[in-house]
Amino acid sequence: MLQYFFAPFLIAALAALTAGWMLIPILRKLKAGQFISTDAPDRHRAKGGTPTMGGAIILAGVLVTVFALPRPEGGLRLSGGVVLATLGFGLIGFIDDFLIVSRGKNLGLRAREKLLGQFLVAAAFAIWYYNADPGRFPIDTPHFTLPRVLLAAWHVLLLMGMSNAVNLTDGLDGLAAGVSLPVWLALAVLAAFVPAGAGIVASSGTDVGLLIFCAAFAGATVGYLWYNAHPAQVFMGDTGSLAIGGGMAAAAIALRQEWILLVAAAIHLVEMFSVMAQVASFKTTGKRIFKMSPLHHHFELCNQPETRIVARFTIASTLCALIALLIVFYR
């Protein structure tokens, strides 16, 4: 089973490195530069014009690997829908990035338009998943049966929440990718070794495609980080952040490890909740909890170097991923 981790990881990393080498000059030529939000710290003004939509580098690495690498029979039973959901979220992000670049200002999709698009993709995935994995429904426990509608609502909420959580984490060079990498590695381990309901997902041959997908996303993220490390040559944009978050949630749902994802991806969720807490506090009391949200901007205004913030958030994310695996293996 190790070959279904190492081969996708390496192929995706090399594919992403190649895609970045080819794509970044094209983005520069097209003047597809990032427009810095007025809400960002002043030090970010110098990053204006850095090519965006670099999430396409990650997606290219994943797609090349998923569709080029041979799999056992039935290896796309669940992973095919996960890939399509990831691309759906990525498409929403691409439209947002494209509108910002074409309009020449930081004005892409309206919040309600983006949320509507995310909801439609999430709902489509939930409907597809119920038909792809019918043995999971209804959820029976010793005390109650969980109706499909409640599980559907939970899955839609998770897909939308994770895509927005990663989007909010994307604010410093290497931050979103660095924090996401341990999560993808943890999902790959879960796909390879952890019982999911009736059987072991990958090692039983039920859906090796999920393992390939998670390992490929980890490898592609490493390849992207080659160009996104400080000082960044490219930003992932919403093309990357929405796809990463949506893909994480879709993979966790297919692996039946949704609650464990909340532990592994805790840093993303902390970033999202820091924004929610800031807005709620300001609207109710007129006071701010943080100097600026999301949380990484608060630390920036506390005069912490960008590279130190990224390193510490990545370390914290790695610890969360390890804690998640410990919970699974020792529960």
DSSP string covering 241-285: HHHHHHHHHHHHHHTT-HHHHHHHTHHHHHHHHHHHHHHHHHHHH
Q: Is the pLDDT of residue 318 over 70?
A: yes
- pLDDT digit string (tens) for 98-113? 998 888 777 789 999 9
Burial 175-184 (b: 16+ CB within 10 A, else e): bbbbbbbbbb
Distance CA 327, CA 257 (A): 11
Domain boundaries, the chain: 3-257
78: DSSP letter: T
Q: How many residues does the chain have?
A: 331
- pLDDT digit string (tens) for 274-291? 999 999 999 999 999 999
Cβ proximity of 156 and 238 under 8 Å = no
Q: Is the pLDDT of residue 257 over 80?
A: yes
- pLDDT digit string (tens) for 4-56? 889 999 999 999 999 999 999 999 998 887 766 666 676 766 777 789 999 99
Span between the terminal Cα atoms of the chain, in Å: 23
Distance CA 172, CA 307 (A): 9
3-state helix, strand, coil in the chain (%, to 5): 70, 5, 25
Number of H helices, E strands in the chain: 12, 4
- pLDDT digit string (tens) for 103-142? 877 778 999 999 999 999 999 999 998 887 666 554 444 4
* Of residues 133 and 305, more confidently modeled: 305
Distance CA 309, CA 293 (A): 14
List CB contacts of 216: < 8 A, sequence separation 6 or more.
8, 9, 11, 12, 61, 62, 65, 66, 69
